[in-house]
Chain A
Amino acid sequence: MNKKKKTQRIKILTIVLLTGGSLWPAFPVFWMVLNSFKPNNEIFAWPPIWISENFSLESYFSIFTSPEKLRYFLNSYFICGVVVLLTLFISILASYAFSRFDFPGKKIINVMIISMQAIPPITLLIPYLSLIVTLRLYNTYGALILTYLLFTLPYAILIMTGYMNTLPKELDEAVRIDGGTRLNALWKVLVPSAVPGLISVGMYTFLRAWNEYLFALTLTKTREMRTVPVGISLLMGQHAYNWSEMLAMSVLGSLPVVILFLIFQKYFISGMTAGAVKS
């Protein structure tokens, strides 16, 4: 067999394997989206209805016209937005300390921050609940914002420090030689140069906060404070499962993340891999 033929065969085999393999991640998603347009009574029809004659956007409309469900989305957007901003701010400062200073305890603090990623949030749920109650934050945005900072900061600091380390010291030193302060150098020079790193951290933070369910369920009580994941689970408990609405809400709840990912995937993937694994 000549080489060209062999290459051709490997190429075909690769494409076949990729296409076959992609059914595993793609089919469930395809099925979810498809069913979100079907009326409830067709969702579990046997045999399944692939192309429904009653395709409708009704379940989507019912979400957009329900103040309660819109509130879940607003809550999620607000909480995620604040968490992203705070995480970026705190991690910029911390990563500057790690990247530009030598100080006693640096190594220990760094290892502690890394290890925090390994603390399972569920193990802190009970004391955390009483702490939040004591701080009078139960059933407030503050409770969730603080909690999510805890989940996002270790990773954010780690990534930002790695990123700051790649920026040459001369960059900020130049500002200081011209008489600028350290803070000046940080905000005017380093932060603008670190935008790709910031995007990556911001995306990760948004994803983490957008997805969180356990603490959102436990630390809030009233419907006005619920977030999208909890809102979806509440739909599940309601009147004999309105599947079509649950699926529409799931599609709407996934859309922001998918869109963000498509826009920023380049930064996101490189940043994420840099943080999770030392290469």
Chain B
Amino acid sequence: MKLPLNLKKKMEPFFYLSPALIVMIILIAVPITMVILFSFFDNVIINKNPTFVGLANYYDVLTDPIFFTALKNTTFFVGISVLAHLILGIMFALLLNSKYIGKKTKALFRIIFILPWLFTEAIIAILWRLLLNPNGIVNYLLQIFNFLGTSIDWLGSIDLALVSVTIINIWSGYPFYMISLLAGLQGIPQELYEASSIDGANAMNQFFYITIPQLKPILLSLITLDLVWTIQQFTLIWMTTGGGPLHASETLSTYIYKQAFSSFQYSKAATTSVIVLLICIVLAIFYAKQQKGEGLK
């Protein structure tokens, strides 16, 4: 069959888009629809003929104290991680952008500062289990410098597990901010600083009145992306504390995983997934607004 030329021309862009669209529709649209459906049915996957239960799963999840522990822990984990990523990212980016050091020194330090970002989460988890072991180097160093009397089981303690996984996540995540901000810093017109120096602005003024406002669009994008990434952090927590001890470092992602693969409560896991998805959709809308037009002319 021969298509009319006009229609053929109109369809042409979709020919190029079709592989991407097919993959994405099957692999994104279908699972999203499925997970939403799952959340309204009783024990899906295990149950051959699941029955519609309305909001019963939501009731179950929202009355589960462990869900709230996970929500609270996730809020702490995400809040502190994102804040620390931001501060470390800006600090290191400013240092690496200094005009007082040579190109080669800069390149060397840049690679060192990026290091954590090149490591797989599974490996980062092992690395920090090595460092934070009761007989590990962190305890040793803290003791010889007299910060600590006896060794601490960082990852095994109810009081410290969440703090420990947060520290690990901070270690692994700041380089992304650092590189992006480094690019952003180089895009700020030098004249702005020169003009403000003539007006008598000091480094502090310049940072708050030029650097930060100029970086604002990048900062907002970075923070939104990081929020989404940190909410879903699973591997680091799973391989260091497993959400324990006694749910002390349980987050929404370890909660979802355990509901599904330890308790086989697939409906409850799906319901929690939908709740997390809703949180992320709000963030995604914000992110898309930030990025609007990117890639389009």
Contacts and interface: CB of A to CB of B under 8 A. Distances in A.
Interface of A: 7, 10-11, 14-15, 17-18, 21-22, 24-26, 28-29, 31-32, 35, 43-48, 89-91, 93-94, 96-98, 101, 103, 106-107, 109-111, 113-131, 146-147, 149-150, 153-154, 157-158, 161-162, 165, 182, 207, 210-211, 213-214, 218, 228-230, 232-233, 236, 243, 246-247, 250, 253-254, 257-258, 261-262, 265, 269-270, 272-274, 276-279
Interface stretch (B58-66, B156-164, B191-199, B275-283): B275-283
B180 A94 contact: no
B121 interface: yes
Contacts of B19: 89-90, 93-94
A28 B133 CA distance: 13
Nearest to A257: B118
Interface of B: 10, 12-14, 16-17, 19-21, 23-24, 27-28, 30-35, 38, 45, 88, 91-92, 95-96, 98, 100-101, 105, 109, 111-116, 118-123, 126-128, 130-131, 133, 135-137, 140, 171, 175-176, 179-180, 182-184, 187, 217-218, 221-222, 224-225, 228, 231-232, 234-235, 239, 253, 256-257, 260-261, 266, 269-270, 273-274, 276-277, 280-281, 283-285, 287-288, 290-297
Contacts of B121: 211, 213, 229
From DSSP, what is the main secondary structure of chain A's interface residues? helix
Nearest to B292: A111
B297 A165 contact: yes
Contact of B130 (A35, A131, A228, A278): A35
B270 A126 contact: yes
Contact of B288 (A35, A114, A123, A162): A114
B231 to A, nearest CB: 6
26 contacts: A11-B100, A14-B101, A15-B105, A18-B95, A22-B109, A28-B131, A48-B140, A91-B20, A93-B20, A94-B16, A97-B16, A103-B10, A114-B291, A116-B24, A119-B28, A123-B277, A126-B256, A126-B260, A127-B34, A154-B24, A211-B120, A228-B122, A257-B118, A277-B221, A278-B218, A278-B294
Contacts of A162: 294-295
A-B pairs, top 5 by smallest CB distance, nearest first, are A118-B284, A127-B34, A120-B232, A229-B122, A97-B16
B287 A117 contact: yes
A79 B228 CA distance: 26
A115 B29 CA distance: 13
B130 A32 contact: yes
Contacts of A101: 12-13, 16
Contacts of A228: 120, 122
A98 B12 CA distance: 12
B217 A21 contact: no
From DSSP, what is the main secondary structure of chain B's interface residues? helix
A125 B92 contact: no
A35 B270 CA distance: 41
Contact of A113 (B24, B33, B113, B184): B24
B123 A253 contact: yes
B127 A109 contact: no
A98 B115 CA distance: 35
B122 A233 contact: yes
Contacts of A269: 179, 183
Contacts of B291: 114, 278
Contacts of B290: 278
B280 A120 contact: yes
B168 to A, nearest CB: 10
Nearest to B214: A279
A195 B296 CA distance: 20
B130 A247 contact: yes
Contacts of A17: 95
A250 B126 contact: yes
Contacts of A157: 20, 295
Given A122-B234, A124-B273, A109 B112 contact: no
Contacts of A15: 101, 105
Contact of B120 (A46, A110, A253): A253
A123 B274 contact: yes
Contacts of B10: 103
A243 B131 CA distance: 12
B192 to A, nearest CB: 15
A91 B218 CA distance: 24
B280 A119 contact: yes
B17 A97 contact: yes
A208 to B, nearest CB: 11
Contacts of A14: 95, 98, 100-101
